[in-house]
Structure 1
Amino acid sequence: MTVPGTALGKLYRAAPVVQDSVLAVALLLPDLFLFSDFALPLVGLADRLLTVGYAILGYAALAVRRRAALAVFAYVWAHALGGELLTAAGVFDYSPTLALLAALYTVAALRSARPAVSALVSVVVPVALSVRAALADVPEAERLTSLIGVACFYGLLNLEVWAVGRWVRAGRAAAVRDRLAVARAEEAVLSERARTARELHDIVANAVTVMVLQAGGARHVLRTDPGRVENALDQIESCGKTAVAELRHMLLVLRTEGERLAAEEPGFGLADLDPLLNGVRQVGLTAHLRVTGVPASLTRSVDLTAYRLVQEALTNAAKHAGPGAVTVVRLDWHPVDGRLEIAVEDDGRGAPATARSELSTGHGLLGLRERVAVCGGTFEAGPLPDGGFRVAAGLPTRKLSPQEVGT
């Protein structure tokens, strides 16, 4: 049993050359019946075959109209012009019309304004010859009225077909713009999700890690060193308050007026490294800060990225290197080159970090790489030859002249 619409569905999914070949056949028959003497009873078989053969020469080009719109139009235009000239010479009576309309539509729909307008202007020649042929047997008294009617018919027909082609082109362009806008919006949403995920990791995961390590250390000295326990509880409270404050700030940024609030509220930066270093020292990590060069100004995003990098690297050292490990944070300013090199290295020689894999989310270094890339910097992370781990990045700064550096 044949399902209705199956043939049309197959044609819709067929290759363009197949679709256009079917279109050519569909236009050929009415063109012969409406614009030639093919159907007249007094026309002989030889004349009919000649007319059909000439028509096929023109319509065959429509099979590739979408692949070579301008070339096909030029060919069909010449074919239409030849048909009019042969009609005037008495070879046959045929004014090729529908093929030229299809080619004109294709140029209008697929090409820019200049070739489209040129094609519309060029059809004046075969259209004028078609009008002349149509008036050949009209009595002199009726010729003016017939001229106006036939000229309007051919002129408006070509103009309307051309206008439909331009309208289709404009609709396709609008659809492409809409798809691009949707794609950009989706990309922006995904980018915002990634940024939010990085912020949540940097705020929650790092703070919770330090709090868990502090609590674990306090439990071991609960009965032997109450002062250290109290200090650990103070650090846990401080980390918790800091995390809550950062979460509150992030939620404000995500609201409708997030950009304005983000500009008004200060964020974390390299000026906040001392509390960060003190926090990891409380869990048994030996942390040093070494700064070389003349500091230059950083944009807010770069300053926050630098802080997050040090924060993540120190947290990883506390988790994986263990208490007793030595960690060095290096800030090397290169103001003339407009660059800040940051490196955080641990020696990996702390106490065994047992049962700490559950503290890792597995997204910290990936988030850092994305942050640094957004700022236009470089990032690398990996184990050191003699043990330990290194996290490093190069970030852009405001360039200073040698005179500014000297002062």
Structure 2
Amino acid sequence: MTSLARAQRQLHAHPLALDAALAAGVLLCMLAGSFVDPHGGHGVSWRIRSPDPLSLLLMTLSAVALVFRRSAPMTVLALTGAASVIESVTGDPRAPVAMSAVIALFTVAASTDRATTVRAGLLTMTILTGAAMLAGPLPWYAQENLGILAWTGIGATAGDAVRSRRAVVQAIRDRAERAERTREEEARRRVAEERLRIARDLHDVVAHHIALVNVQAGVAAHVMDKRPDQAKEALAHVREASRSALNELRATVGLLRQSGDPEAPTEPAPGLDRLDELAGTFRSAGLQVEVARTDHGTKLPAAVDLAAYRVIQEALTNVQKHAGSEAKAEVSVVRVGPNIEVTVLDNGHPADDGPPAAGGGHGLLGMRERVTALRGTLTTGPRYGGGFRVHAILPVKTRTATTGENA
């Protein structure tokens, strides 16, 4: 099988040599046919005869023309057809020059479209058969004349079948290549989305806990000499925040492990059920946080629950970092129809570095990406009279959850 495939590749790599070999074979067949008389006398069905010099010349010229059948199929068909017509009119008995015309017609049908094949086939059959019937030495109803009609029709039909098969094979290859490209693009898209999701999680975890550690460390440094008890309490909060950061980082990075890894994290992602715990961490860092909820009893999809939690976490982190030491934050979670609305307000005054703009910063960008991915909306911006507002509207039922319920 390997040798056959290698031979096919070599033949396709040298089409002119293949056509020359084909032309030589056709010439041999025509010469063999020209030396045999199928209507021998004295009860003999076959006999040897001497072909006319003109017939030998026409056979040679038509065979040479077949060498160039790929580069100029219509020209070769015209030349071989003309040689066949001349032989039909002048030769007696005729040599099988029409064989070259059949090969040329096959090439035209295999290399052009169906409409061209029909026109060329009908024209070739009409001219060759008409010339043989009307001007040939045999009666118009002779089987040799009908044989020309049949062989030209077979050549055109076979060439069209080869062209159709090539088109089908090429279409299958194109579909396979498109499917492969689509799979590769889908894989790249999924990898990019996963990298973006992990980057958002890492940012939320690190920004939240490092902000708490920074505040508590500052408090400890400020009261270390005068109030060591309060400094110890602040350092305890630092230790707790750092431990929580390490745990969440371990859980986030652990998602990169193989699915069968026994060390992969199994605890659920945080959600609104841990909202009070989240608010408590900020209160321990000195930020006054009030929480109001009217969504009790609402069961949220995991993605929506996590997104709402991360939006509140990032918003409170920004308040802690940018709103000043006297800032207060208000968190509200409200069920409104098919959506759940999360709002975080503060009344702080920006520090010198200022809060991130409404459309900038990795934190706000991450929040917007989370909400948009769930077909929700996020609005951020300064409040009238001072402070900042973050408002997210998330659908209670995502497309994935709805599909699962319908299934």
Fold-level match, TM-score > 0.5? yes
CA contact (8 A) 1:253 1:259 kept: no
| Residue in 2 that maps onto 1:6 | none
Structure 2 equivalent of residue 347 of structure 1: 347
Q: Cα distance, 1:294 vs. partner?
A: 4.6
Letter in 2 for 1:316: N
Q: Deviations over 1:250-306 (max 9, x none)?
A: 233222318999995311111112222122222221111112355411011111111
Contact 2:107 2:159 in 1 (8 A): no
Match in the other structure for 2:369? 370
Q: 1:152: how far off? A: 3.2
Partner of 1:382: 381
> After superposition, where does 1:76-87 map in structure 2 within 5 Å?
none
Question: Are residues 1:34 and 2:118 paired?
Answer: no
Write out aligned runs for 1:150-299 (5 A): 150-257=152-259, 264-292=266-294, 294-299=296-301
Residue 261 to residue 28, structure 1, CA distance change in 2 (3 Å): farther
Once the two structures are superposed, residues 302-326 of structure 1 have per-residue CA deviations (whole angstroms, 9 ceiling, x without a partner) of 1111111110011100000122211
Map 1:85-96 to 2 at 5 A.
none
CA contact (8 A) 2:81 2:128 kept: no
1:338 maps to what in 2? 338
After superposition, where does 1:96-175 map in structure 2 within 5 Å? 102-104=111-113, 127=121, 130-131=124-125, 133-136=127-130, 137=132, 140=142, 142-143=144-145, 149-175=151-177
Structure 1 residues 211-232: Cα deviation after superposition (integer angstroms, max 9, x where no partner): 1121112111111222222222
Cα drift, residue 330 of structure 1: 1.0
Give, in whole Å, the separation in 1 of the partners of 2:270 and 2:363.
18
Q: Secondary structure at the match of 1:255?
A: coil
Q: Contact 2:258–2:264 (CA<8 Å) still a contact in 1?
A: no
**Which ranges in structure 2 are unaligned for 5 or more consecutive residues?**
1-69, 88-103, 399-407
Distance change (3 Å), C-alpha of 1:133 and 1:38: closer
Structure 1 341/247 Cα, relative in aligned 2: closer, same or farther at 3 Å?
same
User: 1:283–1:323: 8 Å Cα contact kept in structure 2?
Assistant: no
SS state of the match for residue 391, structure 1? strand
- Secondary structure, in 3 states, of the residue corresponding to 2:291? strand
Question: How many residue pairs are counted as aligned between the two chains?
Answer: 304
Q: Is the 8 A contact 1:313 1:391 kept in 2?
A: yes
Partner secondary structure for residue 304 of structure 1: helix
Structure 1 unaligned spans of 5+: 1-23, 42-94, 105-118, 400-407
Which residue of 2 is the match for residue 404 of structure 1? Answer: none
> What is the TM-score with the length of structure 2 in the denominator?
0.64
RMSD of Structure 2 on Structure 1 (CA): 3.8
C-alpha spacing 1:252/1:265, structure 2 compared with 1 (3 Å): same
Question: Structure 1 CA distance, aligned partners of 2:385 and 2:371?
Answer: 27
Counterpart-to-counterpart distance in 2, 1:143 and 1:38 = 12
Q: 1:308 aligns with which of 288, 293, 310?
A: 310
CA distance in 2 between partners of 1:375 and 1:220 (Å)? 44
Q: Note the C-alpha offset of 1:197.
A: 0.7
Secondary structure of the residue aligned to 2:282 is helix
Q: State whether residues 216 and 285 of structure 2, in contact with CA within 8 Å, keep that contact through their aligned partners in structure 1.
A: yes
For residues 122 and 77 of structure 2, the distance between their equivalents in structure 1, rounded to whole angstroms, comes to 18
* Residue identity opposite 2:383 in structure 1: L
Deviation string 1:132-168 (CA, Å, 9 cap, x unpaired) is 5434427535456655544432221121122112222
Question: Is 2:339–2:395's contact at 8 Å kept on the other side of the alignment?
Answer: yes
Contact 1:296 1:398 in 2 (8 A): no
| Matched residue type, 1:388 | G
- Structure whose alpha-carbon radius of gyration is higher: 2
Please report the TM-score for the alignment, with normalisation by the length of structure 1: 0.64
| Structure 2 residue identity aligned to 1:386 | G
Change (3 A) 1:259 1:273: farther
CA displacement at 1:123 relative to structure 2: 5.7
Deviates more, 1:147-156 or 1:340-349: 147-156
Structure-2 change in CA distance of 1:387 and 1:135 (3 Å) = same
Return the alpha-carbon distance in structure 1 between the equivalents of residues 352 and 234 of structure 2. 20
Contact 2:271–2:306 under 8 Å retained in 1: yes
Q: State the structure with bigger RCO (CA 8 A, min sep 6), 1 or 2.
A: 1
Q: In the superposition, relative to structure 1, how do residues 278 and 251 fare at CA in structure 2: closer, same or farther (>3 Å)? A: same
Instruction: Report sequence identity in percent.
Output: 31
Distance 1:149 1:102, change over 3 A: closer
CA contact (8 A) 1:375 1:395 kept: yes
For 1:383 and 1:364, locate their aligned partners in 2 and report how far apart those are by CA, in whole Å: 16
Which residue of 2 is the match for residue 45 of structure 1?
none
Question: 2:109, 2:163 within 8 Å by CA — same for their partners in 1?
Answer: no
Equivalent pair of 2:105/2:156 in contact (CA under 8 Å): no
Helix, strand or coil at the partner of 1:370: helix
Q: Summarize the alignment of residues 387-406 of structure 1 with structure 2, pairs less than 5 Å apart.
A: 387-397=386-396
Aligned amino acid, residue 363 of structure 1: H
Deviates more, 1:32-41 or 1:214-223: 32-41
Secondary structure of 1:331 counterpart: strand
- In structure 1, distance between residues paired with 2:84 and 2:144: 26
Tell me the amino acid that sits aligned with residue 128 of structure 2. A
How far 1:129 sits from its partner (Å)? 6.0
